[in-house]
Amino acid sequence: MFTDRTSIATSLTLSLLAACASVYAAGETEAESTVPASTPATTGLDRNPLNGPDSADSLLTDSSEEKADVLNKNILKQWETWKNSLEERTGFGFGADYTAVGLRATESLGDNSAASDIFRLYGSWALFNRGSKNTGSLEFKAENRHAFTDIPPATFGLVVGYAGVPEPVFSDQGVRGTTFYWKQHFLEDRAVARVGIIDIKEYFDVYALASPWSGYFNLAFSTGANTMIALPDGTFGAMVGGYLTDKVYAAVSIADASADPTSPFKSIDTFFSDFDTFKSLEIGLTGGGKKFFLDNAHISFWHLDDSAETGAPGGWGVMGSFSTLIDGKWLPYLRAGWADEGGGLYEASVSTGFGYMKQPGGNLVGIGLNWGRPNSDTLPLDLNDQWTGEFFYRLQLSENFQITPNVQILAEPALNPNENLIILLGLRTRFTF
């Protein structure tokens, strides 16, 4: 393992290299093509119905849309033009991204820094009814998660004495298969089903700022609001959901609770042999269409069986969420969750804040405040409630490169009673291609 200084230096070096590449591209002449490299952005916080911000389809849509970037240059225009041409001819679209995160704590019980990176490869292949309604497609996503430090960001919270997760996905898990499923739209695109190796976070309790790759860092502001153990991904399961009316939607799912994303197809066997499952039901009211995750109020129920395979405890809980887009720029939200057991770090959690994007595809500001009560079943101690504040500014430096400074304020950290306040300084860089 690298030392703390080497880890942080590595992350910063990767960021600077990507930034230099973007600056270099500003002086280059870009090739012309009959197939556009990007399409006009609709609204920068938009997502398709029941298709979370980190699904393969959403990632491809986002990468194809024109950004309001600072340098106003696309260093990969020819590459993207070729990819778009391939998708037009065959229905096969693919992409990749590389994201690195570094965190530094003002106080800690152990190490005071953590850094990790993730490489993702994802795609969608429209094989049925391509170019029309009720499309059927094969969706996939694979990742490599690698830590630069002894403690990765995903577990850094416990090290500093915080009963929470300051960056949930950046671990040292290695190569993993996140999704490989068939997605079928039906009822004139009013409904969708998935079956195969799925990721619960693509459709359950999602809102526009939930992605740890492009939105908030802290799990308190993401899916589950820290009241749930890590939601299953790379797991065998199925879901179905859609509009019951023009404004009301519902979605249900079931998936293997014992999955290991490093061996995702093993979950097919454990699903049928053990039948320890994660079940979910969500009912919501929305503005409809592409405003699904913007003007949205929903209530989500979940139940998790005890896992005979992993020994993880079961439980159940409920989530509530409200968000609305104001003036096409502001996205205020209010979210809350409660859990009975289930392995989450919080028993109860309430988050509020807002996102602000001046123009579609441009820079994004997020500010959030969370109150959380530690889960006494997961942490069998008499712990105080915690308050968490987060600020991030996502700078769209070029068409393919983002850099996001981040500050997290951890007040009354439950596992470090000698400290009243711990500040985490963070930096996230993301390069898409």
What's this model's pTM, rounded to 2 decimal places? 0.86
> What average pLDDT does the segment 113-121 reach?
98
Task: Give rounded-to-5 percent helix, strand, coil for the chain.
Answer: 15, 45, 40
- Give me the domain span that covers residue 312: 4-432
Give the confidence band of 37 by pLDDT, cuts at 50, 70, 90. Answer: low
Angle 94-96-97 from CA coordinates, rounded to 5° = 155
pLDDT for res 9 = 36
pLDDT for res 289 = 59
pLDDT for res 309 = 80
C-beta of residue 374 within 8 angstroms of C-beta of residue 349: no
Is the pLDDT at 206 greater than 90? The verdict is no
Give the confidence band of 1 by pLDDT, cuts at 50, 70, 90. Answer: very low
Identity of the highest mean pLDDT range in 17-21, 35-39, 48-52: 48-52
State the total domains in the chain. Answer: 1
Is the pLDDT at 20 greater than 80? The verdict is no
Cα separation of the two ends of the chain: 29
pLDDT for res 45 = 40
pLDDT for res 39 = 56
Q: In terms of DSSP bridges, do strands 421-432 and 346-356 run parallel, antiparallel, or are they unpaired?
A: unpaired
Give the confidence band of 288 by pLDDT, cuts at 50, 70, 90. Answer: low
Instruction: Give per-residue pLDDT as tens, 39-85.
Output: 555 444 444 558 888 899 989 988 888 899 999 988 899 999 999 99
324 vs 27: CA distance, rounded Å:
40
Is the pLDDT at 19 greater than 50? The verdict is no
**Which contiguous run of DSSP H or E holds residue 40?**
none
Among 365, 418, 375, which residue's Cα sits nearest to residue 396?
365
C-beta of residue 15 within 8 angstroms of C-beta of residue 427: yes
Give the confidence band of 89 by pLDDT, cuts at 50, 70, 90. Answer: very high
Give the confidence band of 25 by pLDDT, cuts at 50, 70, 90. Answer: very low
Largest Cα–Cα separation, the chain: 65
pLDDT for res 205 = 92
> What average pLDDT does the segment 125-150 reach?
95
Instruction: Give per-residue pLDDT as tens, 306-323.
Output: 888 877 788 999 999 999
CATH number for 336: 2.40.160.10
Q: Which token pair is 145?
A: 């998660």
